Structures are given as C-alpha cells and as structure tokens.
C-alpha cells in the first residue's frame, strides 16, 4: 500500500493521508479501527455499491467490534440534492449520531460530495473518510475537500470546503465498475497528463490497450500519479483562489455541453470535448503548437472518448450557458488554455467570436 501525505495549512485544515493499493480493504478496516477517530461510524453508500462492497465492509467492521451502521442512497446525480441531505441528517439523528461519530463515504463522486457536505454541517461538523469506488472519484473528487449538492438551478451550487480525515483508494473496487464510468475517470487522468505531466501523457499514449483492459499495475501507476498532481495543486491553493483553477481545464465548455444536453452527455464525455475545444482555442490564439493539439485529440479518441460536439446541440445554447457559467467574471469568459503540453495558464478572456468559431468547427458532421 502506497501513501501520499496531503500537507495543508494547519490554521485552516488538518493534513491527511491518501492510501492507495490493490485489495487493501482489510488494511483500511485496520487503519480505521486503529485511528480511533470516532466512537462510532456510519457508512454512506449507494444502491450500486452497497451489494458488491458495502455490506461486506459493514460486516467486517462489525466483526472488529466497531460500532458501525450503514445508510444506502439511490445511485446517481439525481440524488445529489437537499432532500437527500435532509434525509441523511434525519437518519443520523435517529441513529443517535453525535459529534463523537464519523461518516464514511463509500461510493463515487456523488456519494463523496454529499457525505462531505453533510459531515461539514451536521452538528457544526463531524469527521469523515473518503473511500472512492469510481475511477473519477479515486483520481479527483475524493481529494481536495470540495463538497457539494446540486440545486434545480445548476450543479454544485451549494457546498463547502471540508477536508476528510483520510482517503483510501482500493483498486479492486474498479473490478465492478461499468465501462462508461471507467471512461469518465480516464478523461480526468488525461487532463492531468495535459496540464501537468508529459510523462504521464506519454505513458497513456503508449498503453491505451492495457489501461483500457484495466491492467492493475498500470492503473496503480496512473492513479497514484494523478493523486500526486491533485494533492500538489490543492496544497498550494486549497480554496481555489488561483492555481487550483487549472484543474478546470476543459471544464468551461464541457460544463456548458453537459448542461445543454440536459445531462444526457456524461461528464467525462463532455469534458473530453471541452479539452479538445480548449486545445483548439489555444492553437487559434497561437499559444499551442498544432502537433500538441493533435496529440491531445488523438489520445482522447484512443480511449474511446468523444472529440466532437453533437449536431443536435445548438451553438447559441452552448454560448449562452458559457456566459451564465459561475466562473464568468466581469462579462469575460475565462478559460484554462495551454502554451504547450504540461503548461496551462488562465487566459484573461477569449473573444466570443473565437469561442463560437471553435464550437461550429467541432460540430459532428
Ligand atoms: N468534489 C470534487 O472535487 C469533484 C470533482 C469532480 C467531480 N465531482 C462530482 O462527482 C460526481 C461524479 O462522480 P462519479 O463519476 O463517481 O459518479 P457517481 O458517484 O454517480 O458514480 C457513477 C455510477 O457508478 C456507480 N458505482 C460507483 N462505484 C461503483 C463500483 N465500484 N462498481 C459498480 N458501480 C459503481 C454508482 O452507483 C453510479 O451509478 C459529480 O456529482 C461531480 O460533480 C466532484
């Protein structure tokens, strides 16, 4: 089992460890028991994770004489709302969960974001652990302490920054993960290669087949590299006031596409198209060499991720969503662009004509 220490400003948040390995669930249980960070625990999971993983985890913790319960939520983004939060909080109260208790988020980004949110506000804050079970959650959402729920007006509009006590990444959870969800996570790993690590990018280029076949040794390497990149960025900018924004590479247009499709396009697919669009804008503005843009597009395609915008999505619709995006400041649409592979920067504002031209060029004909 490998360990990565996340060192945060102690005045704001406590530091914690990310433990990564394959078949480490027994070790995770031991660490939770030994850490003794709470007198009782509540695992929160979803309906797809509960049967293959949650119940076993619950039984083993109980066998270790740990006082533990489990709450199961319906799966999917539709659950990530205030009603579910109230539902969890009421169940916790009924169970007698107090400030000496801790929550364990066992699931993908939806469970992780929601449990983090509940932990941050329940009785003014109780500890929680992240045990991510999707590839996306293992490389992205479980690290960094961003918690959120959605409102009918938009995604992630209510949230807090609240760091977990620890993150445990067991690759064996990926054995049951559907391929659509695996690809969603790959899009984020490709993003790390693009914004930070050309070695990771080259490794992805040369190992497309083995990674797609879920070669565990390679997955361990790329997941660990991704976690190290994210941890380095959040150590510098925990609250996303500067550097952390580079993690949004591909997300500005990606979010607009996702929303314009009424969320029928998955997050990973949408940000893949968004990354191609951002690379194209970087090339048009004469920052990014054409060969780098081509490599980005080829890698995204090689992993079976989309690189074109469906014709059915209106250009005007995408543009107006971009303008309404919460990251828009002073009527300027800011983008994370690239000077070259591994060298992102926040652009002061891309002219609307360039964005429009790029969307039209990327339409799937
Ligand atoms: N907090 C952050 O920094 C951050 C970063 C990125 C994304 N997010 C959020 O993460 C969410 C997306 O996360 P996600 O992609 O993990 O989605 P998800 O949590 O909805 O999981 C995807 C699907 O996979 C199922 N699943 C999970 N683990 C499984 C397993 N091991 N085997 C079989 N099925 C499994 C789930 O039940 C669900 O149906 C979004 O809400 C997004 O806003 C947060």
- 55, 240, 297, 357: the active-site residue: 240
Write out the DSSP string of 29-50: HHHHHHH---SEEEEEEEHHHI
Rounded mean pLDDT, 90-113: 97
Annotation says 248 is catalytic: yes
CA 220, CA 237: separation in Å to the nearest integer? 26
> Residues 51-71: pLDDT tens digits?
999 999 999 999 999 999 999
Q: What is the pLDDT of residue 330?
A: 63
Lowest-confidence region among 28-42, 71-85, 104-118: 28-42
Tens-place pLDDT, residues 210-229: 999 999 999 999 999 999 99
Asked if residue 211 lies in contact with residue 186, where contact means CB atoms within 8 angstroms, the answer is yes
272 touches 309 (CB < 8 A): no
Residue 365 has pLDDT above 80, yes or no: no
Q: Could you tell me which CATH number the domain at 2-177 has?
A: 3.40.50.1970
Percent of the chain with pLDDT over 90: 82
Residue 347, pLDDT score: 87
Ligand 1 centroid – CA 134 distance (Å): 6
Q: Do 283 and 293 contact (CB within 8 A), yes or no? A: yes
CA distance 82 to 94: 18
Mutate which of 25, 74, 136, 156 for ligand 1 pocket (most atoms within 8 A of beta carbon):
136
Average pLDDT score, the chain: 94
What does the alpha-carbon distance between residue 6 and residue 227 come to, in Å, rounded to a whole number?
10
Q: What residue's CA is closest to ligand 1, atom 10?
A: 109
Q: Give the mutation target among 79, 119, 120, 181 for probing the ligand 1 site: most ligand atoms within 8 A of CB.
A: 181
Separation of CA 112 and ligand 1 centre (Å)? 8
Active site residue 188: yes
81 a catalytic residue:
no
Residue boundaries of the structural domains of the chain? 2-177, 183-213+249-361
Alpha helices (runs of H) in the chain, residue ranges in sequence order: 25-35, 47-49, 55-63, 82-95, 109-121, 135-136, 179-195, 198-206, 208-212, 216-236, 251-260, 267-284, 290-302, 315-324, 352-361
Of 48, 184, 248, 347, which is the active-site residue? 248
Question: How much is the pLDDT for 12?
Answer: 64
Can you name the residues that pair with 332 across neighbouring β-strands? Answer: 329
Reported as a pLDDT band with limits 50, 70 and 90, residue 328 is low
Q: What is the spatial distance between Cα 219 and Cα 225, in angstroms, rounded to a whole number?
A: 10
- 242-296 pLDDT, tens digit per residue, is 888 999 999 999 999 999 999 999 999 999 999 999 999 999 999 999 999 999 9
Which member of 251, 280, 293, 334 is catalytic?
251
Q: Is 74 in the pocket of ligand 1 (CB under 6 A)?
A: no
Strand partners, 363: 309
- 163 CB less than 6 Å from ligand 1? no
Nearest of 139, 176, 172, 154 to residue 28 by alpha carbon: 172
CB 337 within 8 A of CB 329: no
- The closest of 55, 42, 107, 104 to 77, measured between CA atoms, is 107
Q: Indicate whether 329 pLDDT > 70.
A: no
pLDDT at residue 326 greater than cutoff 90:
no
Residue 157's pLDDT is 93
**DSSP codes, 195-235:** HT-HHHHHHHHHTHHHHHTT-HHHHHHHHHHHHHHHHHHHH
Q: Is the pLDDT of residue 11 over 80?
A: no
For 76, the token pair is 């999917």
Residue whose CA is closest, atom 7 of ligand 1? 141
Q: What is the mean pLDDT of residues 35-47?
A: 93
pLDDT, one tens digit per residue, over 72-97 is: 999 999 999 999 999 999 999 999 99
CA gap 130, 139 in Å, rounded: 12
Over the stretch 131-143, which tens digit does the pLDDT of each residue have?
A: 999 999 999 999 9
Q: How far is CA 93 from CA 42, 97, 109, in A?
A: 12, 6, 24
- Position of tokens 């619709």? 317
Please give the structure tokens belonging to residue 354.
């360039």
H or E element, residue 307:
none
pLDDT score at 237:
86
| 40 band by pLDDT with thresholds 50, 70 and 90 | very high
User: How far apart, in whole angstroms, are the C-alpha atoms of residue 314 and residue 351?
Assistant: 19
The residues, ordered by sequence, that sit 6+ positions from 175 with a Cβ below 8 Å of its Cβ are: 214
Indicate if ligand 1 lies below 6 Å from the C-beta of 156: yes
The CATH classification number of 183-213+249-361 equals 1.20.1090.10
Is the torsion defined by CA of 110, 148, 304, 315 positive or negative?
positive
Q: State which ligand 1 atom lies nearest to the alpha carbon of 148.
A: 1
């Amino acid at each position: 089992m490998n360990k990565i220490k996340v060192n945060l400003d102690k005045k704001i948040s406590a530091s914690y460890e990310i433990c990564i390995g394959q078949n480490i669930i027994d070790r995770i249980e031991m660490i939770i028991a030994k850490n003794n960070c709470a007198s009782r625990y509540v695992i929160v999971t979803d309906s797809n994770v509960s049967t293959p993983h949650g119940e076993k985890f619950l039984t083993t913790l109980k066998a270790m004489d740990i006082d533990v319960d489990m709450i199961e939520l319906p799966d999917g983004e539709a659950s990530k709302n205030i009603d579910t939060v109230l539902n969890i909080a009421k169940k916790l109260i009924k169970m007698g969960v107090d400030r000496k208790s801790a929550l364990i988020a066992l699931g993908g980004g939806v469970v992780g974001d929601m449990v983090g949110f509940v932990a941050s506000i329940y009785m003014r804050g109780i500890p929680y652990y992240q045990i991510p079970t999707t590839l996306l959650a293992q490389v992205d959402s479980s690290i960094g302490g961003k918690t959120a729920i959605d409102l009918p007006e938009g995604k992630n509009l209510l949230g807090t920054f609240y760091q977990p006590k620890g993150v445990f990444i067991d690759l064996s959870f990926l054995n049951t993960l559907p391929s659509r969800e695996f690809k969603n996570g790959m899009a984020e790993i490709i993003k790390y290669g693009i914004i930070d690590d050309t070695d990771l990018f080259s490794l992805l280029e040369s190992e497309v087949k083995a990674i797609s076949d879920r070669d565990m040794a390679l997955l361990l390497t790329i997941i660990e590299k991704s976690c190290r990149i994210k941890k380095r960025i959040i150590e510098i900018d925990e609250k996303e006031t500067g550097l952390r924004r580079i993690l949004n590479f591909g997300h500005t247009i990606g979010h607009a596409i996702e929303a314009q499709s009424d969320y029928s396009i998955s997050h990973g697919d949408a940000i893949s198209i968004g990354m191609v669009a951002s690379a194209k804008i970087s090339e048009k503005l004469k920052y990014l060499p054409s060969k780098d843009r081509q490599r980005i597009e080829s890698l995204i395609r090689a992993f079976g991720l989309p690189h074109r915008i469906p014709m059915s999505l209106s250009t005007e619709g995408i543009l107006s969503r971009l303008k309404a995006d919460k990251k828009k400041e002073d009527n300027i649409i800011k983008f994370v662009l690239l000077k070259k592979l591994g060298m992102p920067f926040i652009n002061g504002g891309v002219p609307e004509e360039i964005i429009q031209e790029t969307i039209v060029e990327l339409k799937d004909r």
